[in-house]
Structure 1
């Protein structure tokens, strides 16, 4: 009887923490599947010198290499935007969000100085592309965004790309209002559980507000091994096993570049960054967060590479451009 009660308690605990369907990754010796041991060693040396918390390399759904603590959860910063983008794909397919809806249609405004009539013509799609033209102060902004933010009214909605936390935060508000769901509970139920994430629960997210905007940021804590599942989901075209978790059409649409950051030759889709095809092959994209949080997908190599960096252990973090150089070494080692 005691054993039965203990088993029931363990099952209930797993359900409450979102780990009931957790699945361990399958690992494979990289040299047996065509990887260059020497090149991978060089990539690892360069990576570990940057002091990441964890790096995980997955090819064909199997772990070919990892280092650091892949189960340690960290605030993945702006990776949150790509996580929300996936939830949007589900909500759009269910008819709960219309990308052509304007902010006026949805009753979206903000603290004084409130939005103008022109700003309210921005659509949900404009916000997903970071093209709202709304340069209102936003929560959770970096100093760089604050310095570079254009003047209010300087660009009509849809006409100009600017990496804009106001757009990203307001998309969180729209998602909650239009679906009636909490972002973190929704991610847990709709994505983490179907993928068998081992560490994530709805308690690993929080809302962050600042007085000048009514739209909170929504930072997530993720482990590298759970982040890799999210990357693998998008590499699979939104499919996991027998279940189409995110519509395949949304995976393609959200990782298509609609704008380009000239300085770094990279594109921007619906809250995903894209990499140039002439270097990486078709359909290469990544989620990126401040301090070195990255989920990279290189479709031509059937490859997912994740890096996490805990600022408590590495306050300086890792620049995204530096990670991209390591990613090149990793892909060079790959068959």
Structure 2
């Protein structure tokens, strides 16, 4: 009995030591960054007391990390902004950037069809479905209503019956469209989209936490032959991606993403009747209602509270994360909804001192 107690105590001690070391190195990693930082909120033109109110709200919801970049410098950083966690549907805006580069190179054309790229699935496509174009896929209007990987229960329930609409006729947030875009992209190159993201975006931007080991394809063959392309990424690396877009695709004097594509993809392309704030661009959400439309805001948004919100009128990037990989989330599904996320963003916006 005594030996069992000693063994149990040793296990507890080792667990606590491991936890302490994890926290220590996580905090250490979060402190070491090449991001320039504002010396103070006042210097950046923000009211520190108002930012504290925003911090209080942040701590009252289920957020796990927030970072705000103002005028190219870190304004605030809450939580573990260096931890790579599931980006969920923010991944779609990453792919939009890669497509923008390739449109410029002539690899793809917006009117290329599924037939042109010989796309099929477990359930054969109809002649009409094969007429859907890359443009339709990027605006989630393909009219192909088949099972897809990474679909939520709500997406499955909302999926129209097959053949309900022609390509380009109806918006339905459709993971089939998004996953097929990944397949079409990968068919054209010896390297895949993850490798291209690393060499063409992550490395030029100096992303601090990104590794190919934090990307993977999720195959759900009983649903579809087209896998989901999943990214785990840190908040501070997402902020670099947002800053790249805020700078119209430029980074350190180099045009990484064509400026024309940045503007086109982040402009509304289709109306989203079920959303009172955003319409849809090319794999980006675009604010079309005040107050955010007045700030020209556009966003990459993912399930459970992930976002990169870009606000050109304020020269500001806001990144919000909920770590859906952590055990407590798996048990309780404590997410942050869009209204909570936007409320937090609004508190930060309101903290900015306006010139009279």
Q: 2:152 matched to which residue of 1?
A: 142
Matches within 5 A, 1:173-322: 173-210=183-220, 211-265=222-276, 266-276=278-288, 278-280=290-292, 281-311=294-324, 312=326, 313-314=328-329, 315-322=333-340
RMSD: 1.4
Q: 1:222 to 1:317 in 2, by over 3 A?
A: same
Could you give the per-residue CA deviations for residues 181-231 of structure 1, whole angstroms, max 9, x where no partner exists?
Answer: 311111000000000000001221100011221100011000000000000
Question: Do 1:184 and 1:203's aligned partners in 2 also have CA atoms closer than 8 Å?
Answer: no
Alpha-carbon distance, 1:248 to partner: 0.5
Give the alignment's TM-score, normalised by structure 1.
0.91
Among 135, 141, 154, the residue aligned to 1:125: 135
C-alpha distance in 1, partners of 2:191/2:300? 23
Q: 1:38 matched to which residue of 2?
A: 49
**4+ residue stretches of structure 1 with deviation over 6 A?**
none
Alpha-carbon distance, 1:61 to partner: 0.7
Could you give the per-residue CA deviations for residues 30-68 of structure 1, whole angstroms, max 9, x where no partner exists?
Answer: 111210112211111111211322100101110011110
Establish whether residue 324 from structure 1 lines up as the match of residue 342 from structure 2.
Answer: yes
Unaligned runs of 5+ in 2: 1-31
Could you give the per-residue CA deviations for residues 83-129 of structure 1, whole angstroms, max 9, x where no partner exists?
Answer: 111111011111111111111111011112x1100000000011001
Q: Which moved more, 1:321-330 or 1:70-79?
A: 321-330
C-alpha distance in 2, partners of 1:302/1:289? 22
Q: 2:14 matched to which residue of 1?
A: none
Matched residue of 1:156: which SS?
A: coil
C-alpha distance in 2, partners of 1:282/1:100? 31
Question: Do 1:122 and 1:133's aligned partners in 2 also have CA atoms closer than 8 Å?
Answer: yes
Question: Do 1:288 and 1:320's aligned partners in 2 also have CA atoms closer than 8 Å?
Answer: no
Matched residue of 1:30: which SS?
A: coil
Give the alignment's TM-score, normalised by structure 2.
0.85
Aligned residues: 313
Matched residue of 1:117: which SS?
A: coil
Matched residue of 2:201: which SS?
A: helix
Q: Which moved more, 1:146-155 or 1:317-326?
A: 317-326
